[in-house]
């Protein structure tokens, strides 16, 4: 049961821009905004099962969306992708200030015996992801401010995911080069 709820909450988060797009075409903006708050609350509950500290950003997002939606439901709805990018950016920035970085934690989880020489590379990858999320939040904010629901949906529902995929692929390729270089020099 919990596994299917997890998948559902994640799927709704990924499909969110399209749900907003089609929801605003058929439902009142206030109803769709209320649904967003329910989604954020579900994500907070999903994350808090693992760590109550990690659910804090989603609770902040709920408050921000409620405040914005009270002024303008459509603006409140368009805020969610911006907040998600900013939450990720904050997490990556936090890990840069208080290591180990998120990327190092993931890498060492997969390969606990990584040499210390990779830390510089892992820090650069963390900075690259931090930069990505800040730029993504800025573009998402620009599409929200544009007034075009189609442009907002296209960027937040497709282009940003494609950009993230390119980022993952590029990092994977660079990682292979770094691995080869470390093996040759070792």
Asked if the peptide bond before residue 100 counts as cis, ω within 30 degrees of 0, the response is: yes
Give the Cα separation of 17 and 32 in Å (integer).
11
Q: Kindly give the confidence (pLDDT) of every residue in the chain, 186 residues in length, as a single tens digit, with 9 standing for 90 and above.
A: 556 666 776 787 788 899 899 999 999 988 888 887 787 777 777 766 666 566 666 677 777 877 888 888 888 889 989 988 998 999 999 999 999 999 999 988 988 888 888 999 999 999 999 999 999 999 999 999 998 999 999 999 999 999 999 999 999 999 999 888 877 444
- What's residue 3's pLDDT? 64
Give the Cα separation of 167 and 108 in Å (integer).
20
- What's residue 8's pLDDT? 73
- What's residue 153's pLDDT? 97
Is residue 58 within 8 Å of 47, Cβ to Cβ? yes
Give the model confidence (pLDDT) of 129-143 as tens digits: 999 999 999 999 999
Give the Cα separation of 63 and 97 in Å (integer).
26
- What's residue 53's pLDDT? 61
CA end-to-end distance (rounded Å), the chain = 48
- What's residue 186's pLDDT? 44
**Structural domain boundaries of the chain?**
2-185
- What's residue 2's pLDDT? 56
């Amino acid at each position: 049961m919990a596994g299917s709820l997890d998948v559902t909450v994640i799927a709704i988060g990924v499909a969110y821009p399209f749900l907003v797009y089609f929801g605003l075409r058929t439902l009142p903006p206030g109803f769709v905004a209320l649904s967003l708050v329910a989604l954020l609350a579900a994500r907070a509950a999903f994350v808090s099962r693992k760590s109550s500290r990690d659910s804090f950003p989603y609770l902040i997002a709920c408050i921000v969306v409620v405040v914005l939606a009270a002024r303008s439901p459509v603006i409140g709805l368009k805020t969610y992708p911006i907040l998600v990018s900013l939450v990720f950016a904050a997490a990556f920035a936090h890990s840069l200030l208080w290591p180990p970085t998120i990327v190092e934690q993931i890498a060492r989880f997969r390969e606990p015996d990584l040499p210390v020489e990779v830390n510089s590379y892992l820090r650069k990858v963390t900075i690259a992801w931090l930069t990505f999320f800040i730029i993504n939040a800025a573009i998402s904010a620009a599409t929200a401010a544009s007034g075009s629901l189609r442009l907002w949906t296209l960027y937040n529902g497709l282009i940003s995911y494609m950009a993230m995929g390119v980022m993952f692929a590029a990092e994977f390729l660079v990682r292979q080069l770094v691995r080869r270089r470390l093996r040759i020099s070792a």
